[in-house]
Structure 1
Amino acid sequence: MSKIIRIGTRDSELALWQATTVQQKLEALGHDTTLIPIKSTGDQILDKPLYELGITGIFTKTLDVALLKGQIDIAVHSMKDVPTQLPKGIVQTAVLERAVTNDILVHKGLDFLESENIATIATGSLRRKAQWLHKYPHHNIVDLRGNVNSRILKLIENDWQGAIFAQAGLERIKLLPKDALELDWMIPAPAQGAMLVVALEKDAFSKEASHKLNHQDSEITTAIERDFLRTLEGGCTAPIGALAQIKNQSIYFEGSVFSLDGKQKVAIKKSSDLTDSSGFGKACAKELLEMGGDRLMKAIRNNQETVPSPGGEG
């Protein structure tokens, strides 16, 4: 028996691009689909940094509710925005083939990088802020919120030297400037560049249909990164980066946690055989905690006692 698969998505241009990609792939498999755009809380509240909003999964919660209420059959997310613990009754069905993972700087000229003068860089991400300040401690960071289009407009309108974005997002909606600077030294957010599909655990039809879109290598690497994040975070938002890559049947992992001001850093690089991927992310996190990451995470939690986790970054 067939049915029309209702695809829930945020209503930003990037989110709609991602949902449309899933829609096209499902229809190519013979399924009937319809898109149902829904505005999330994270898109509605733009006057506060993400980490001050105190809502777990701020960009995914509205779609979770719609799914649990039976208003949609599947939801499509930027995987880095999804909390590591899915709501009860909702399951991961597919990770699409991952795009590029790195961050980039959209700028108005790069002379400031060679100067000792104070420059202003915009980002709404604690991870990007901490890593930028670790490398450029004399720079100033300002908060930047909104969808990708509005963030680029804010960069144009303000007297900032640059703003940090995920390369994948700008590429997907054809807004990547030719002169954007690849930040190859910045460790990305866990699961950055990946698209996630979720469905109700009890909905066998939607689970089976969407699982056919799953890309195994992308599923493995994002699982390692999210296990690393889950083991470290302990209920707080922290500047955590993680990247797992598969090369020649081996997994190469790099992870880090920074202090909120970027002055302190604990990092780890490990490799493992692909057959030993289960538990690898958790093991890397535990080793990093023993290297001093536990003290850093405790300091971050103490600093954020009144700032609960939003479960994602822009």
Structure 2
Amino acid sequence: MQKTIRIGTRDSELALWQANKVRKQLEFLEYKCEIVPIKSTGDIVLDKPLYELGITGIFTKNLDIAMLNGDIDIAVHSMKDVPTVLPEGIIQAAVLKRANYNDILVLKDNEEFFGQPNGVIATGSLRRKAMWLNRYPTHKVVDLRGNVNTRLEKLENNDWNGAVFAAAGLERIGKRPGGAVNLSWMIPAPAQGVIMITALNEDDYIKDACEQLNHYETQVCTGIEREFLNLLEGGCTAPIGALAYIDEKTEEINFKGVLLSRDGTKKLSVNKTGKVGRHRYLAKDCADYIINRGGKELMLEDEDIEKEFSVYSTKSLSEIQKNLLPTSMKVESSDFIKIRFNRIPPKTVKDEIKNVIFTSKNGVESILNSFTSDELQFKNIYCVGRRTKKLIEQRIGKVKHAARNAAKLAEYLSLEIPEQKVTYFCSDLRLDTLPTVLTENGIRVNEVEAYKTMFSPTIVDDSVNGVLFYSPSTVESYLQENKANKVAFCIGESTAKEARKHFENVQVANLPTVESVIEMVNLHFVKK
């Protein structure tokens, strides 16, 4: 049976339009598709400018998490909203042909205010604000957030002279007013006007499908623009513009980029060309040009956001995971738990085991530390967690059922294998939930202590506002050296149950992943 491609998207009118465009193109190629709307942090928090939120990828993170957790197969984005570094495991699968990349000014009345000193313009974009003030330094720029329809409505209900929009967004949903003014002098955001599709790197079926939609010239140009942005280390918190386009007559790529101070008083710009096929260093050359003329110093001058919040993770975070947190937040991490694998007696796996349970990757890795996959004769494998399942299927064999947590797995097994026996590869500090429920339902549990969990706490500074926990053991380890006087961000209900014994403020992630815990931290502190 043909796989149905689940298309993840934000739930705004524009985002749904873009997702449906991708759906139609895939269906034309005879793929089955369905739309899965998901709300983003950027849609939820509407009372602060994007640059004050300090989070790059604010419109894409929930889609990334949904994809990593298997809820969607692809995500459709406005490419300008996507961070230049994607989460581990997610790739750029395709870009569609670029639409109108310009910014436009939607007027409230007429253009007479251009020559007046007291014009008022609305935009939520730091780049648009800086470029407008650079050109019209006596004007005032006010913040404007929300989806396209919300922003148009706010313009109508306020005394502003106009508001700046991306032309492509208004044109796609048929909302561009007749009197809108093209701002050809305003260099767009990198990849503006482009629809991007992301997918899991491991899913060859999806990658093959998306590859058929990819527009090569757009891929080349946006690649240069985004590399320029990445090299300048800018995101939503830096006013950077970039545009690359191919001159069909000369077969040259024309590039122009700009970096401004937030108030628009300072501006560094660059214009260069390069032959198609010889453009490998075009973005770097342009970024170096800006940096060598004081670009880094200009950005540092604007780094006026104090590090108001500080968090500590009780599990070491990768650089990609740290980058999911706001740039204005101090982040530290270390492993509060150390794992030591036990030597499992060969007789344990000598014969075929009918029912096997793993509740963590540690259990899987511990048994693979003692035996090769060929030595393991497991008929039915049950586990907790998507990543545990992935590791099992990569190294041992097919998983019959994976549950979100131990309680859900116990509930499932009680109905599916009553009166049978299970072998549970666990830690010396395993929770009672699973074996207790199974025993109560007549299932015999053979516990094999596969690894030991050892506490390795670190003293956390009093200035830290929140601590990220990933298991009940990390909570216990933390409390050996620290007080429970911070916000506890927990990966799941079992961890939260332990945390509630000690912490007043305990929050639980929507999904049992590190990324979901990080997203919860973002939401908590952004709303402060």
TM-score clears 0.5: yes
Contact 1:244 1:253 in 2 (8 A): yes
Q: 1:263: which partner in 2?
A: 265
Given that 1:9 and 1:75 are in contact with CA atoms closer than 8 Å, whether structure 2 keeps it comes out as yes
Tell me if structure 1 keeps the 8 A contact 2:100–2:193. yes
Aligned to 2:136: 136
Match of 1:287 in 2: 289
TM normalised by structure 1 equals 0.95
The change in CA–CA distance for 1:309 and 1:176 in structure 2 (over 3 A counts) is farther
TM-superposed deviation, 1:272 = 0.5
RMSD: 1.4
Aligned partners of 1:8 and 1:72 also within 8 Å: yes
Matched ranges for 1:1-314 at <5 A: 2-108=2-108, 109-116=110-117, 118-233=118-233, 237-248=237-248, 249-300=251-302, 302-306=303-307, 308-309=326-327
Deviation for aligned residue 1:282: 1.9
Deviation for aligned residue 1:58: 0.6
Deviations, residues 28-85 of structure 1 (Å, cap 9, x unaligned): 0010000001111110111111112233311000000000000000000000000000
Amino acid corresponding to residue 271 of structure 1 in structure 2: T
Alignment gaps of 5+ in structure 2: 309-325, 329-528
CA contact (8 A) 1:220 1:277 kept: no
Q: Deviations over 1:74-110 (max 9, x none)?
A: 0000000000000000000101000011100001211
Q: Is the 8 A contact 2:77 2:196 kept in 1?
A: yes
Q: 1:227 to 1:305 in 2, by over 3 A?
A: farther
Greater Cα offset, 22-31 or 286-295: 286-295
In the TM superposition, residue 115 of structure 1 has moved relative to its aligned partner by 1.8
CA distance in 1 between counterparts of 2:152 and 2:327 reads 25
Cα 1:107–1:234 change in 2 (3 A) is: closer
C-alpha distance in structure 1 between counterparts of 2:327 and 2:15, whole Å: 22
- Tell me which amino acid in the other structure corresponds to 1:160: W
- TM-score normalised according to structure 2 size: 0.57
Larger Rg: 2
In structure 2, what is the Cα distance between the partners aligned to 1:92 and 1:292? 32
1:236 Cα offset (Å): 7.2
- In 2, distance between residues paired with 1:96 and 1:68? 23
Cα distance change of structure 1 residues 182 and 199 upon mapping to structure 2, 3 Å threshold: same
8 Å contact kept, 2:55–2:236: no
Q: Answer whether contact 2:94 2:215 (CA < 8 A) is retained.
A: yes
Name stretches of at least 5 consecutive residues in structure 1 with no aligned partner. none
Measured in 1, the distance between the counterparts of 2:169 and 2:259 equals 24
Local SS of the residue matching 2:51: helix
Identity %: 57
In 2, are the aligned partners of 1:187 and 1:255 still within 8 Å (CA)? yes
CA shift, 1:233, in A, is 1.9
Counterpart CA distance in 2 for 1:178 and 1:149 is 16
Deviates more, 1:214-223 or 1:232-241: 232-241
Conserved 8 A contact 2:50-2:236: no
> How far does residue 292 in structure 1 lie from its aligned partner after superposition?
2.3
In 1: Cα distance, 2:149 partner to 2:6 partner: 26
Could you tell me whether the CA contact under 8 Å between 2:105 and 2:181 is conserved in 1? yes
Q: Which has the higher contact order (CA 8 A, sep 6+)?
A: 1
Q: Distance in 2 between matches of 1:180 and 1:63?
A: 32
Distance, in Å, in 2 between the alignment partners of 1:215 and 1:100 is 15
Q: Is the 8 A contact 2:187 2:243 kept in 1?
A: yes
Q: 1:236 to 1:106 in 2, by over 3 A?
A: closer
* Contact kept? 1:236, 1:309, Cα under 8 Å: no
User: C-alpha distance in 1, partners of 2:190/2:45?
Assistant: 24
**1:297 offset after TM fit, Å?**
2.0
Give the Cα separation in 2 of the matches to 1:179 and 1:234: 33
Structure 2 CA distance for aligned equivalents of residues 236 and 153 of structure 1? 24
Is the CA contact 1:235–1:309 (under 8 Å) kept in the aligned structure 2?
Answer: no
Partner AA of 2:201 in structure 1: E
